[in-house]
Chains A and B, each alone.
Chain A
Amino acid sequence: MIARLWRSQRWWIQRVALLPVHLFLFAIAVFFLVRLIPGDPVLIIAGSDDLTADQYERIEVLLGLSGSLWHQLMVFLGRVVTLDLGRSLIDGQDVQEQIAWRLPATIEIALIAMVIAIAVTLLLCIFAMLHPHNPVARFAAFYARSAGAIPDFVLGVAGILVFYTVLGWAAAPTGRYDAGLRPAPRTTGFPFLDALLSSDTVLLSSMLAHLWLPVLVLVVGSAPTIMKVLQRSIEHAVDDEATLFRIASGVPRHVVIVSVLRRASPTMVTMCGQLFGFLLGGAVIIEQLFAIPGMGQYAVQAVGRADFLALQAFLLTVAACVLVVFLIVDLVNMTLDPRRRPGVMVEGNA
């Protein structure tokens, strides 16, 4: 009974169990990366050469750089497991507290942009599939081909110039809402969601006015990459014999569309995972441009102060987010297509 349950449920249990392993391996990689930093991190952080032996030792312990390499590794892994990422030596703030406060804001922007980018991409691709000779379809193809040609920050500067300076449609790029407004009470940690829940309409409208341009920039910048992939997989699905058979046998159009999309869906799910990583990177840049307090701003500040603890935590956090998204992508794909489950296909699942 239990054996049978294990056999039928093994695929997702195994995949979920892989997440901590990946995180663990990544943490070790980061640990050694930090040890490769040239020069003495203690002196860099202290910002001067004349430290008393006592001061030096204190900083060394705080950075987890004291004792043998093995001891250091154990201390480091212990801190990662207990989510104790340390207290920044520069501003004295708890690193994990800062991240817990900033991460939701960044993820929120990335997720909103992701949902809109996927919706726009789907609509454009379906339209292009149905009306291949329409100018809009041609524009979509051209737009998809231009993937990555214009970086996010160029789009951002152009967007601010056009929509804020010239047209005046967007609010000033100076944060998440107008100065003088108070943030919504913190319930979920996600600033926009909190504002929605608080039903403070003044705050909400101000947030919308500040949010739409950064989101638009992210969507315009990231949509081509997924559009290219989706267009190609739709083309494959349309040329597929099963689809041609459906069309030839006079099945209603919406049934054909649904079947084509179903065939293209594993590619789409995989692509959503990549899109999330892409948008996370984009959000880091966009936050800087629009002065939105999030992970990106935190990291840029940390670079300026040579705050290694903060940077190490930043890298680990972003990696953890990406790994979780990878996990979700894999699980969804395994649900959609049982052939992708481990142990089923030995070769060729790349």
Chain B
Amino acid sequence: MITAKAAAKQYRGRDNTVVHALNPLDLVIEPGDRVGIIGESGSGKSTLVRLLLGLETPSAGSILYQDGEVSQLSGDRLRQFRRDVQLVGQDTTSSFDPLRSLRDAVRRPALEILGLTVAEADAAVDEVLASLAVDPELSSRRPSQVSGGQRQRFAIARALIVSPRILICDESVSALDVSVQGAVLNEFKDFAERSGAGIVFVSHGVPATAFLSDRLVVMHGGDVVEQGDVSQVVNRPKHPYTARLMGAYRKLSADESSAA
């Protein structure tokens, strides 16, 4: 459904230096896939997400959605793309307009992408909020008037209201309290199992990513250093960077199981 073909991104920094944010990369994501992308900040994973969503144009190579370049889509095809691919972002505080209600934000995709009337859209909002066990009363509030965990649920609702076939989660749980993280991860897993959608889970944390993914992509310094099945990457890493990353994780889970 989304195919990255040798997609790369460079930025022109100060003093005309060129920053290679992402080196040429190939990736295929289909509905039903569960892809985890792991890397530190600066590894290029956020750039990859922005390219996949068509928010930026690749400097080289291409990102294709049904044979169309994602950043060039417009009109009905763009609407179709937005309907198929949605994002739950990282920053819960700034991903909502501070002057508008949460309901307005969740309703917007239903109006603009699905073309529903306001009444239909409101019904859809109530439905998606109920499926996420969010008190519908909260939706009349401003983003600053609910907790971070609640806000992230609204962000999920905003993405799920169009029933996307691929959901991209960019550091979606990193800013949340540990107690809330688990609940949100389960929402993602439930959604994927219920609807058969694909999930691209982007994070710097190995445990959450391993929990949600079948396939892992490890990024470092703008390069993909390793990709493959979760069990293979976790247990038999090939690249020294992955080995270091996974070593810590394996030790941690071993400690946990011995403690339990």
**Docked complex: B1-34 residues within 8 A CB-CB of A:** 12, 14-16
Report how far A346 CA is from B16 CA in the complex, Å.
9
Q: Let me know if A344 is at the binding interface, CB within 8 A.
A: yes
Q: How far is the CA of A36 from the CA of B15 in the complex (A)?
A: 46
> A339 vs B14: C-alpha distance in the bound complex, in angstroms?
9
Q: Mostly helix, strand, loop or mixed at chain B's interface? A: helix
Tell me the chain A residues, 319-350 only, with Cβ under 8 Å from chain B.
339, 344-346
Number of B positions contacting A (CB below 8 A): 4
Contact of A344 with B15 in the complex, beta carbons under 8 Å: yes
Q: Which B residues touch A339, using CB under 8 A?
A: 14-15
For residue B15, which residue of chain A has the nearest CB?
A344
B18 CB → nearest A CB, Å: 13
The distance from the CB of B8 to the nearest CB of chain A, in whole angstroms, is 21
B residues less than 8 Å from A346 (CB atoms)? 12
B15 smallest CB distance to A (angstroms): 7
Complex Cα spacing A168 to B240, Å: 87
Interchain CA distance A346-B14 in the complex, whole Å? 8
- Please, which residue of chain B has its CB at the minimum distance from the CB of A347? B14
Contact with B along A185-198 (1 / 0, CB 8 A): 00000000000000
Residue of B nearest to A343 (CB): B16
Contacts of B15 in A (CB 8 A): 339, 344
User: Could you tell me the distance in whole angstroms from the C-beta of A342 to the nearest C-beta in chain B?
Assistant: 13
A302 to chain B, nearest CB (A): 49
Give, as a whole number of angstroms, the nearest-CB distance from B97 to chain A: 24
Closest to A344 in B: B15
Chain B hits for A345, CB < 8 A: 14
Shortest distance between the CB of A7 and any CB in chain B (Å): 13
Q: How far is the CB of A101 from chain B (nearest CB, A)?
A: 49
Query: Which residue of A is nearest B14, CB measured?
Result: A345
In the bound complex, what is the Cα–Cα distance between A64 and B245 (angstroms)? 80
Which residues of chain A come closer than 8 Å to B14, judged between CB atoms?
339, 344-345
Instruction: Specify which chain A residues have a CB less than 8 angstroms from the CB of B16 in the assembled complex.
Output: 344
Within 8 A of B (CB), among A228-243: none
Q: How far is the CA of A265 from the CA of B16 in the complex (A)?
A: 25
Which A-chain residue is minimally distant from B12 (CB atoms)?
A: A346
Question: Complex: how many Å from CA A339 to CA B15?
Answer: 8
Report Cα–Cα, A345/B16, bound state, in Å. 8
Distance in angstroms from A334 CB to nearest chain B CB is 15
What is the CA–CA distance of A291 and B126 in the complex, to the nearest angstrom?
Answer: 76
Docked CA distance A249–B35 (Å): 50
Complex Cα–Cα for A331 and B14 (A): 20
Contacts A/B (CB < 8 Å), 7 sampled = A339-B14, A339-B15, A344-B14, A344-B15, A344-B16, A345-B14, A346-B12
Interface residues of A (CB under 8 A from B): 339, 344-346
Pairs of residues from A and B, 7 with the lowest C-beta to C-beta distance, nearest first? A345-B14, A344-B15, A346-B12, A339-B14, A344-B16, A339-B15, A344-B14
